[in-house]
Amino acid sequence: MDLQAIRADFPILADERYVYFDNAATSQRPRQVLEAIDNFYRTTNANPLRGLYEWSIGATEAYEKARSRVARFLNAERDEEIIFTRNATESLNLVAYTWAMANVNEGDEIVISIMEHHSNILPWQMVAKKKGAVLKFLEYDEKFNFSDEELKKITDKTKLVAMTYVSNVLGVTNPVKKVAELAHKVGAVMVVDGAQSTPHKKVDVQDLDADFYAFSGHKMLGPMGIGALYGKRELLDAMPPFLTGGEMIETVTREGATYAELPHKFEAGTVNAGDAVGLAAAIDYLEDIGFDFIVNQENRLSKLCLEAMRDLPYITLYGPLETGRHSGIVTFNIEGCHPHDVSSVLDSEHICIRAGHHCAQPLLQYIGVNATARASMYFYNTDEEVERFVESLKKVRGWLGFE
């Protein structure tokens, strides 16, 4: 695979003054995705699902084709198990407000991990508070694994287990398949936050046996504002709707309404067909590149980066020692320097990294730091960029007044 040819697909990467290492926050988009969205609005646009004329039917077809594409990508059994949302956050909230509010009761337990992004914590805190349920956290050990002892927090009282597949801070991949099995043994449902895994690895929701799987399009080359929720059909069927209004009904009278079939029951209002088409193009692009290449390239870059940083005595690295467990995510601190200052100094050299709590404050409290810096790489990043980043890192302490 020719890396320069791949980079040439990404218009924003043409400006080589910049090193973009904030891919865990959002990725860049190739022209194929931009063109697919542009083409939809230029040639196919009309309000999907309701119009009885050619353009509307075309828009509906484009939208439903995109759903099919997502279903095949995740290996869902049926297309209607894919609900389009704005992003992973909305997908997780959908499960919390519908399935969880209807099925979690006083004294029940919800189990999540300490590694979660706020979007996979706050919805469950809300449910626990409203329903009088207990929210429990699984803590990882010194090797970044969840011990069998720790997993015993999943008990007969557990109604729902939610876990991120890949941590957005540590980069580690969690054993969600094994946890799903434990959840199912006690009759709980398994919710997987796939925001950070879907861009980086082949996902098979049936193999994982996830009941719900949430992800965002914008972290995997797709546009912002489109994401999806996968849910097992029998669960989605039994759930009350999330948002109500247009497009999600069968009939409405003065007194009430009956709801549309799946997936439309969960897609109230005019849908985001243009971005769904963009997401389908992003999936095409990722599968053309192939996850073997993506994983190899990310692991190679992580290794190069981590090994260079390990030699610098003033740097603290977070996450596992094994460079193959990082999914392109390198989280660190520089002794004496606040990550915001580190990020600002790197920014003045056009190196884009993230600094702060990464929307994972309970995790940072568990690690014992207020904030960290994070460089996150994707398959289109290069060895030269890693070298430039490391060379700049070496000068940060000097710029911040240390000898």
Q: Nearest distance from residue 90's CB to another protein, in Å? A: 21
Name residue, tokens 């919805």.
123
Q: Are 169 and 374 in contact (CB under 8 A)?
A: yes
Q: Are 62 and 277 in contact (CB under 8 A)?
A: yes
CA torsion 190-223-97-361 (nearest 10°) is 70
Q: Are 302 and 328 in contact (CB under 8 A)?
A: yes
CA 189, 194, 200, 206 dihedral sign is: positive
Dig out the tokens for 388 from the structure.
Answer: 């430039």
Whether the ω angle into residue 11 lies within 30 degrees of 0, i.e. cis, is no
Residues 6+ apart with CB under 8 A from 46: 53, 55, 56, 58, 59
Dig out the tokens for 181 from the structure.
Answer: 């099995």
Q: Are 298 and 171 in contact (CB under 8 A)?
A: no
Dig out the tokens for 69 from the structure.
Answer: 């594409």
Task: Pick the closer one to another protein by CB: 10 or 21.
Answer: 21
Q: Nearest distance from residue 347's CB to another protein, in Å? A: 7
Task: Pick the closer one to another protein by CB: 51 or 356.
Answer: 356
Task: Pick the closer one to another protein by CB: 248 or 396.
Answer: 396
The reply to whether 305 belongs to the active site is no
CA torsion 168-169-173-174 (nearest 10°) is -90
Closest C-alpha among 102, 96, 100 to residue 123? 96
Q: Nearest distance from residue 399's CB to another protein, in Å? A: 5
Task: Pick the closer one to another protein by CB: 219 or 358.
Answer: 358
Which 314-343 positions form the footprint of another protein (CB under 8 A)? 337-341, 343
Residues 6+ apart with CB under 8 A from 235: 99, 189, 211, 212
Q: Nearest distance from residue 219's CB to another protein, in Å? A: 20
The DSSP 8-state label assigned to residue 220 in this structure reads: G
Which 341-370 positions form the footprint of another protein (CB under 8 A)? 341, 343-345, 347-348, 355-357, 361, 364, 370
Task: Pick the closer one to another protein by CB: 38 or 341.
Answer: 341
Task: Pick the closer one to another protein by CB: 118 or 202.
Answer: 118
Q: Are 63 and 264 in contact (CB under 8 A)?
A: no
Which 43-82 positions form the footprint of another protein (CB under 8 A)? none
Name residue, tokens 């070496």.
394
Distances (CA, A) of 279 to 219, 220, 264, 378: 10, 8, 18, 17
The DSSP 8-state label assigned to residue 110 in this structure reads: E
Task: Pick the closer one to another protein by CB: 43 or 365.
Answer: 365
Site size toward another protein (CB under 8 A) is 21
Q: Which amino acid is at 222?
A: G
Annotated catalytic residue, options 305, 337, 352, 359: 359
Does 371 bind another protein (CB under 8 A)? Our answer is yes
Binding site for another protein (CB under 8 A): 337-341, 343-345, 347-348, 355-357, 361, 364, 370-371, 399-402
* Catalytically annotated residues: 359
